[in-house]
Structure 1
Amino acid sequence: MFESKVSGPIIIIDRDDGRRTELRNLFSDRFRVEPLEDINEIGSSISKAGAYIVYDEGSNFEKLLELFHVNGFFLPVILYSENTSIDRAVRSTRDGAMAYFQYPFGKSINLDDLMAEYERDSLNISFFQRRSQSRKVLKALTSREADVLMSLCEGLTGSEVAEKLGLSPKTVDSHRTKMLKRLGVNSLVAVRMAAEAGWTLTSPPNAEAAPGQGSD
């Protein structure tokens, strides 16, 4: 008898009844399965799942990630699709999908190996949890505070930040003080949080973590 450490049910999200039924039959002999038609049906039970298996259409994956980010945690996600590309699969796994499968599955899914991978990847899940938590906290920053933090991540001095942003050093210092007070951390921790959130020169905060509730 297969024993899994996955404590919650496996949530299947797919609007197609045939595919949902097939997946439910594949998994139900080993796990509790809850099939849903739409992301919006998850509701307040989002954190109670052991894993999500999601048909990759529209913005299903992005909506689920946003729910994770808003709630400050990350759970295992498997995506599948009839029509996909290598680029889409790579981007999805980069953004946190544990696996991406082509449908119909054939013999491509081994349930035992898949669940064992979930359990082995607890460190990776923790990484995504930290990223989600950091993004959630950093969203409280104004756009100008985010600019200042991003400049600190680049290793710029106060005067260099002022020159880059076209502000006075005194104004930059004011934004930095407010930013640190809002986060409740020191500069080093703030920079670490930005790194965990994925703020990089190629993925700026306004595109990747969507902070900034204002520009002052």
Structure 2
Amino acid sequence: MNNGTSLFLVDGDVRRRAAISHCLAGSTVHVEPFEDPSELIARWPKTGLLLVHDDGRSIGMLLAQMGRLGQWLPVIGFAQEPSTRQVVGAVLEGAIDYVSWPFTREEIIGVVEQAEAKAEVFGSAKLREALARSRVDRLTKREREVLAGVAGGLSNRMIGEKLSISPRTVEIHRANMLTKMGANHTSEAIRIAIEAALVS
């Protein structure tokens, strides 16, 4: 770990923020506490890691911001007694790691070190995924269905049959989808969908 890692803590609970800041005081990890995602978004850091209390929305909000900015920072989610579903959900959204609160100083420093190592390996892939997700998020439900059909190698007629709409309507959705995604052709839209983990 380098000399002094910046850890941006996002948690609505003032007592927990204080406890975590106190837990890491005097270590090589410098904690900057924020009450909510919008407060951090207003003062977006260039480097560092985010330790985000998993309240069901904060992790998603911050990852969406990364997609908009085209700048990815590693996110570590945490919660008190998180369920397996909660942990899996946060990781699928894009969190690089997850830790259960309360944690010891040694535990969180270990998690931060691992997250930094993973970030070096996954950084560019995670950034591409964040950018791709932000493009896919612009699509309507129907446009996503058309994109999934296109990625599955279906013709406009076959997509239309599957979705009970006319091939002409599929064509319109397809054109709108390309425009919203900033894709010049279908193969580019498919690549973005794969990077966004919308299709495999």
Counterpart of 2:113?
Answer: 115
Please tell me whether the aligned partners of residues 73 and 130 of structure 1 are also in contact (alpha carbons under 8 angstroms): no
Do 1:10 and 1:49's aligned partners in 2 also have CA atoms closer than 8 Å?
A: no
Normalised by the length of structure 1, the TM-score is 0.74
Q: Is the 8 A contact 1:27 1:111 kept in 2?
A: no
- With normalisation by structure 2, the TM-score equals 0.79
1:73·1:128 contact (CA, 8 Å) conserved in 2? no
Cross-structure match for 2:126: 128
**How far off its partner does 1:185 sit?**
2.2
What is the aligned residue count? 198
Indicate the residue corresponding to 1:37 in structure 2.
35
CA pair 169-106 structure 1, distance change in 2 beyond 3 A = closer
- Aligned to 1:11, which of 4, 8, 33? 8
Shift in Å, 1:174 = 4.5
Q: Which amino acid aligns with 1:43?
A: I
RMSD across aligned positions (CA): 3.0
1:199 aligns with 2:198: yes
Runs (5+) with no aligned partner, structure 1:
202-216
Deviation at residue 116 of structure 1 after TM alignment: 4.7
What pairs up with 1:75-86 in 2 under 5 angstroms? 75-86=73-84
Shift, 1:18, TM fit: 3.5
- Kept in 1, the 8 Å contact 2:41–2:65? The answer is no
Residues 165, 115 of structure 1: alpha-carbon distance in 2 compared, 3 angstrom cutoff: same
Question: 2: distance between equivalents of 1:165 and 1:44?
Answer: 41
* Counterpart Cα distance in 1 of 2:11 and 2:177: 41
Question: Per-residue CA shift, 1:57-109, capped at 9, x if unaligned?
Answer: 35332332333344344311112222321221222223222222222213661
Distance 1:44 1:155 in 2: 42
State the alpha-carbon separation in 2 of the partners of residues 177 and 39 from structure 1.
34
Aligned match of 2:104: 106
Distance in 1 of aligned mates of 2:135 and 2:113: 31
